Structure 1
Amino acid sequence: MRNEACSMAFFRAVVAEFLATMFFVLLGVGSALNWPSGLPGILQISLVFGLAIATLVQSVGHVSGAHINPAVTVALLIAQKISVLRAVAYVVAQLVGAIAGAGAIHQLTPQDIRGSLAVNGLQNNILAGQAVAVELILTFLLVLCVFASTDSRRTDNVGSPALSIGLSVTVGHLLGIYFTGCSMNPARSFGPAVIMGNYQDHWVFWVGPLAGGILASFIYNFILAPDTRSISERIDVLKGTYQPEDDWVEKNEQNYSLELVEKF
């Protein structure tokens, strides 16, 4: 694990996660502020969040795998496709990047425009339990799409994983905005909450997405498309001690980034 942490590839991947999450929060939250002339609309917000993800996955997928979401990172860790060290570093980078993105858009917009900075919260008298269920379902769909669209074992015409993942975020927002403002990503909720100091019902946006991501990881990797690697290979990935000559482990320790590149 020490060798992995000291490598330039690891450093570049962590920086990529920070930058990608920063831009994702800046663009997404920026689209949901109190703009004049009736903006923003549900469709506009949904498209910005989805297209931002698609753009960023295309931009840094070959560097870090473009998780941009702690729920995705935890799901890949559960699937033994990244090391524990990398998962921790990615989540920290994502949270810091989210704060930076939220802070930037906060400073760039007038007070009457920024409003509550699109902090996620319960909408339309929805109960906390219902909100958790909605976030779980929407994040389940997102993470399932991530696993399926980047699975190197597929021989059919997958198309663009970046676009598929972006569309899964878009469709999630088209529904989820009515319930919770739609998070599907703890980092997206965390950044604005920190900047505004508003943590009301904030736990919902950790429990729901993380549970959805973990559930999707188990269902895809143990039921829909069972993982055929040996226990020793999986342990090596988690420890970050894979051997470079082992193509499968090397690919997965790089956070499935090579799989993304091959399909773009």
Structure 2
Amino acid sequence: MAKIALGSSQEAAQPDFIKALIVEFIATFLFVFAGVGSAMAADRLEAPPLVGLFAVAVAHALVVGVMISAGHISGGHLNPAVTLGLLFGGHITIFRSILYIIDQLFASAAACFLLQYLTGGLATPIHTLGSGVAYLHGIVWEIVLTFSLLFTVYATIVDPKKWAHAAQGPILTGFIVGANILAGGAFSGASMNPARSFGPALASWDWTDHWVYWVGPLIGGGLAGLIYENCFIIRTHIALPTTEDAL
């Protein structure tokens, strides 16, 4: 079973880690800017619901695939649920994961405030449960959708025995994000990403159903990391060889 490494504050002083935080901020900022911007554009153009949903799904699929590749220095997490899934798989320390998540939240907030400014004060659309969707149903939607996202990340990017065309992992991850938005967007909003939900909620100061988009994705991401790492990956080395402390 993969060990969850504690890490230490000394990591924060390492030049490579500082670069990783900067890249993670930029990649998450650009992801949220395009993702939320596409939702705002669909609202502004008064697109029919199905057309708007399709446009948002395509925009997210494209920007996720590109930003994971562009953010290779940090790993291109873009998402606290991905960070947690990799933490539970032993690929990132607790200390580093906390700073990554804070970084992602700041990036999302900055992108949404900038969008508000550039659009003349338009509201940033928040993730909320669809009409008639109960909290439990919404949480399960987010668990399943985020699980599929992290399962794809592990299978196409993390797994050392991934298939030969592993360079396509980021775009395949984008595809699953787009597909999940098409499947769950009308029900739970298909966030799969607490940071993606946090920025619009903060900028609009509307926290309706917001807790759902922490509970569901973090459970789904954590489960996927634990299950894939411990059931499907065979390693001959320690995932975090430089870590001094482990739980």
Distance 1:47 1:133, change over 3 A: same
Aligned match for 2:217, one of 206, 209, 224:
209
Q: How does 1:95-244 map onto structure 2 within 5 Å?
A: 95-111=105-121, 114-115=122-123, 117-151=124-158, 153-154=160-161, 156-159=163-166, 160-227=168-235, 229=237, 236-237=242-243, 239=245
Two-structure CA RMSD over aligned residues (Å): 2.0
Cα distance per residue 1:186-216 (max 9 Å; x no partner): 0000011111111111110000000000110
Distance 1:155 1:223, change over 3 A: closer
Q: TM-score, normalised by structure 1?
A: 0.83
State, as a whole percentage, how many aligned pairs show the same letter.
32
Q: Secondary structure at the match of 1:153?
A: coil
Alignment check: 8 A CA contact 2:155 2:162 kept: no
Distance 1:148 1:46, change over 3 A: same
2:59 maps to what in 1?
48
Aligned residue-pair number: 234
Q: Secondary structure at the match of 1:193?
A: helix
Question: How far did residue 54 of structure 1 move?
Answer: 0.8
Question: What stretches of structure 1 move > 6 A for 4+ residues in a row?
Answer: none
Distance 1:208 1:2, change over 3 A: closer
2:78 maps to what in 1?
68
Q: How does 1:1-80 map onto structure 2 within 5 Å?
A: 1-33=8-40, 34-36=43-45, 38=47, 41-61=52-72, 63-80=73-90
After TM superposition, the structure 1 stretch with the greater mean CA deviation from structure 2, 52-61 or 37-46, is 37-46
Distance 1:131 1:155, change over 3 A: closer
1:249 maps to what in 2?
none
5+ long unaligned stretches in structure 2: 1-7
Alignment check: 8 A CA contact 1:80 1:235 kept: no
Report the Cα distance in structure 1 between the residues aligned to 2:197 and 2:211, rounded to whole angstroms: 10
User: Residue type of the partner of 2:186?
Assistant: Y
Report the Cα distance in structure 2 between the residues aligned to 1:217 and 1:38, rounded to whole angstroms: 37
